[in-house]
Amino acid sequence: MTPAERKAITITGLTKAFDKLVAVDRIDLDIGEGEFFGLLGPNGAGKTTLIRMLVGLCVPTAGKATILGRDIVSDPYGARELVGVVPQDFNFDDNLTARDILTYHGGYFGMQRREREERADELLAFLEIKEKANTTCTKLSGGMKRRLLIGRALMTRPQVLFLDEPTTGVDVQLRHSLWDMFRKMKGSGTTIILTTHYIEEAESLCDRVAIMDYGKIIALGSPDELKKTSGSGNLIEIVITGAHAIPDLKTIPEVVRVWWKDGTLSARVTDADIAAIKILDRLRTANVAVRSMHVTKASLEDVFLKLTGRELRE
Ligand SMILES: Nc1ncnc2c1ncn2[C@@H]1O[C@H](COP(=O)(O)OP(=O)(O)OP(=O)(O)O)[C@@H](O)[C@H]1O
Ligand SMILES: [Mg+2]
């Protein structure tokens, strides 16, 4: 088996009920080693609860899961030492400084003193909070606390990384450098599970995405696969100058449907970039004068809205 085919996480019938509320409802899911996996869903869908079970912060009501072969229920410590977690909410000990938070975490997971101090300094510098190293975390801004949460999760260089809304509240510049870092981690073989309400974050980072609602996975696939199955597709609209005989565009393989109304030619297409070039080419050959063109690409947001009836960021 190649690394990509090996399973980093296997989940079978995993369920969590809080009294009568079933927050996670019999989920079956495998995540490959080295995969970048996204969990999308409206507020209350069960994303955090699923992650909390996988990282040993809450006990499943039913079902089974393994992380790199270690069972989360029968071997919770074994499973936990392989993972890094960026939780959705801040959970620092208020009395500790930023640097202590990192080094204590390293110590808790058995890192030697010198190693954990070097790693803490490296992460404080990378996350641009070095000048706050000796500041107690109650005095950090929201964005700085978020950076510290990420730093803490990375201290042990985990093989599996859970990111529960890791970029909420961080500025745009840092968000992009975090994306670069997450990509590099994936490049070096880390398996990453991300929840986010930023659609562009999921689209640009994730190999596969699961859309959750009411504790269940209601769609699963690569961003492109999900967009194709949503039925909305990409739309190309071209405004034509004057009356012309429009060439047949349906023979272009990327064109699904084409229609003409009020001087505008519209086409539903699969690959928008390729289709646009081919359509313009045909129009030019037929001497059709194009005044303007507008391309609307299908987004995961459309898929999400269609499946859940809700906006991703409510
Ligand atoms: N400790 C708890 N006790 C009771 N109910 C809980 C508890 N934790 C979560 N829930 C409920 O479980 C459901 C799922 O919550 P969860 O935090 O997993 O959602 P989420 O998908 O992470 O949402 P968000 O996008 O808002 O972070 C919600 O209805 C929530 O109120
Ligand atoms: Mg959550």
89 lines ligand 1 (CB under 6 A): no
Which ligand lies nearest to the CA atom of residue 197 in the structure?
A: 1
Residue 314 has pLDDT above 70, yes or no: no
Structural domain harbouring 293: 233-297
Query: Are 15 and 127 within one domain?
Result: yes
Residue 290 has pLDDT above 60, yes or no: yes
Residue at which a domain ends, from 193, 222, 251 = 222
Token digits of residue 25: 């409802």
Query: Which residues 6+ apart lie within 8 Å of 297 measured at CB?
Result: 234, 272
Query: Are 209 and 242 within one domain?
Result: no
> Which numbered atom of ligand 1 lies nearest the CA of 41?
21
Q: Among 245-259, 277-291, 300-314, name the one with the lowest average pLDDT.
A: 300-314
Query: Which residues 6+ apart lie within 8 Å of 72 measured at CB?
Result: 53, 54, 56, 60, 65, 66, 79
Pocket test for ligand 1, best of 16, 21, 90, 217 (most atoms within 8 A of CB): 21
Domain count, the chain: 2
Query: Are 65 and 189 within one domain?
Result: yes
Query: Are 159 and 42 within one domain?
Result: yes
120 lines ligand 1 (CB under 6 A): no
Query: Are 210 and 253 within one domain?
Result: no
Query: Are 107 and 252 within one domain?
Result: no
Cα(47) to centroid(ligand 2), Å: 5
272 lines ligand 1 (CB under 6 A): no
Query: Are 183 and 267 within one domain?
Result: no
Cα(88) to centroid(ligand 2), Å: 6
Q: What's the rounded Cα separation, in Å, for the pair 151 and 99? A: 10
Q: At 220, which helix (H) or strand (E)?
A: strand 216-221
Cα(227) to centroid(ligand 1), Å: 27
- More confident of the two residues 152 and 229: 152
Q: Is residue 124 part of a domain?
A: yes
Could you report the per-residue pLDDT of 14-51, keeping only the tens digit for each?
A: 999 999 999 999 999 999 999 999 999 999 999 999 99
Which ligand lies nearest to the CA atom of residue 40 in the structure?
A: 1
46 lines ligand 1 (CB under 6 A): yes
Q: What's the rounded Cα separation, in Å, for the pair 61 and 163? A: 23
Could you report the per-residue pLDDT of 169-225, keeping only the tens digit for each?
A: 888 988 998 899 899 889 989 999 999 988 889 999 999 999 999 999 999 999 988
Query: Are 252 and 189 within one domain?
Result: no
Q: Give the DSSP per-residue string, 35-57.
A: -EEEEE--TTSSHHHHHHHHTTS
Cα(47) to centroid(ligand 1), Å: 8
Name the residue with the closest Cα to ligand 1, atom 1.
Answer: 18
Q: What is the CATH number of the domain that holds 50?
A: 3.40.50.300
Name the residue with the closest Cα to ligand 1, atom 22.
Answer: 48
